[in-house]
Amino acid sequence: GLRGHRGWPLAWRAPTPAKHYDVIIIGGGGHGLATAYYLAKNHRVGRIAVLEKGWIGGGNTGRNTTIVRSNYMIGSNVDFYEWSMKLWEGLSQDLNFNVMLSQRGQFNLVHSDAQVDAARRRGNVMRAHGIDAELLDAQAVQEALPQLDYRDSARFPIYGALYQGRAGTARHDAVAWGYARAADRLGVDIIQNCEVSGFEFSGERVVGVKTNLGTIGAGRVGVAVAGNSGRLAQMAGFELPIESHILQAFVSESIKPCLDHVVGFGAAHFYISQSDKGGLVFGGDLDGYNSYAQRGNMPILRDVISSAVALMPQVSRLRLLRHWGGVMDMTMDGSPIIGPTPVDGLFLNGGWCYGGFKATPASGWCFAHSLANGGHHPLATDFTLERFEKGLTLDEKGMGPRPW
């Protein structure tokens, strides 16, 4: 069937690394590629390279459950994630690449009076910032989502939901490919199979990176390696308040369209949507221990499936098709870090926890600003590394959908 498909042009070049770049970004995930694109587009920085140890989008970008939303309520999180949502809304046009944004709406379910109050408060904060939010009662939820368990015997009765209509999903691979192609066209060198194993210093300042393809000089270096943030910081001689844990995702066999929205369970960490191909896509809690293994395991499978069945009992009749894991960069307050590090010339974008896919456009936007100008972008002033020393944490759990 593919015999006629020969001689296609490459979507991005495969350049040999130059000896020196103005900016090097380590990590060819969504965040690294978006950073390179906005550095070239918004700041017109001359020579930029993205160094990726494997293939672009092979990390969490290509492993996540693709939910995008902006239902945050603390500090910089509120306006930052809403700016990301706005960038998502124009991204296919901006990149000239269909990222398949599907604003199908997300329901965050609530199961107690206390959760109703917490959802009301969150919704009010969102609306005060011009973000769409609606508090729905149980009847309205049942009309929109008849497939959930509303029986008196349900383990966790549904009291209502906080609904964001502009939330939804986007195609994760397309995000990596779209940013890569657009960045390449602005002259960014995307170098795959290039692993950074150390830094070059001149005095106290980082002036380059050591890689399996040799040493490459740089004016500034940005780290955007998600679950490997701690390892890169260690190479540069400092520690991060980040732990790496595995988060797993699950896809069922394909079935006819039955779930029009994204649903977040409020009684356990569980969320579900249906893909264009018909599979139910869902996920839940992290593995409870630190790891860099990009694979799933049976205890979490059992834990997540039990939440699925509590919410939608009919899921128990489905067969599971695929199951995998990605390495999450968990900060202790659930919020990210974007900006300078204690090492001169070295900048960090990390600590995305469960929720960095939705942040991809704004993260690239703000990190590009930091790399071009130093300091923090005005939308990311709270996302400092120093906040952990100063006790200025933004305690908003990376899990997001839980409204308490």
Block residue for tokens 């679950």:
227
CB of 34 to ligand FAD, least distance (A): 8
Q: What angle do CA 355, 359, 360 make, to 5 degrees?
A: 115
Residue nearest ligand FAD by beta-carbon distance:
29
Binding segment (CB under 6 A) for ligand FAD, from list 10-18, 46-54, 158-166, 298-306: 46-54
Confirm or reject binding of residue 224 to ligand FAD (CB under 6 A): yes
**Binding to ligand FAD (CB under 6 A): which residues in 247-286?**
247-249, 283
Per DSSP bridges, beta strands 67-68 and 20-26 are: unpaired
Q: What angle do CA 333, 126, 263 make, to 5 degrees?
A: 75
Confirm or reject binding of residue 77 to ligand FAD (CB under 6 A): no
Binding segment (CB under 6 A) for ligand FAD, from list 40-48, 64-72, 152-160, 253-261: 64-72
| DSSP-H helix ranges across 214-355 | 229-236, 298-311
Distance CA 227, CA 31 (A): 12
Confirm or reject binding of residue 28 to ligand FAD (CB under 6 A): yes
The closest alpha carbon to 347, from 321, 309, 322, 380, belongs to 380
Confirm or reject binding of residue 29 to ligand FAD (CB under 6 A): yes
Confirm or reject binding of residue 366 to ligand FAD (CB under 6 A): no
Rule CB under 6 A: choose which of 17, 21, 60, 343 binds ligand FAD: 60
The closest alpha carbon to 51, from 16, 25, 14, belongs to 25
Distance CA 274, CA 291 (A): 29
**Binding to ligand FAD (CB under 6 A): which residues in 279-318?**
283
Element (H, E) at 366: helix 356-373
Confirm or reject binding of residue 230 to ligand FAD (CB under 6 A): no
Confirm or reject binding of residue 357 to ligand FAD (CB under 6 A): yes
Binding site for ligand FAD (CB under 6 A): 26-32, 51-54, 58-61, 63-67, 195-196, 224-226, 228, 247-249, 283, 326, 328, 352, 354-358
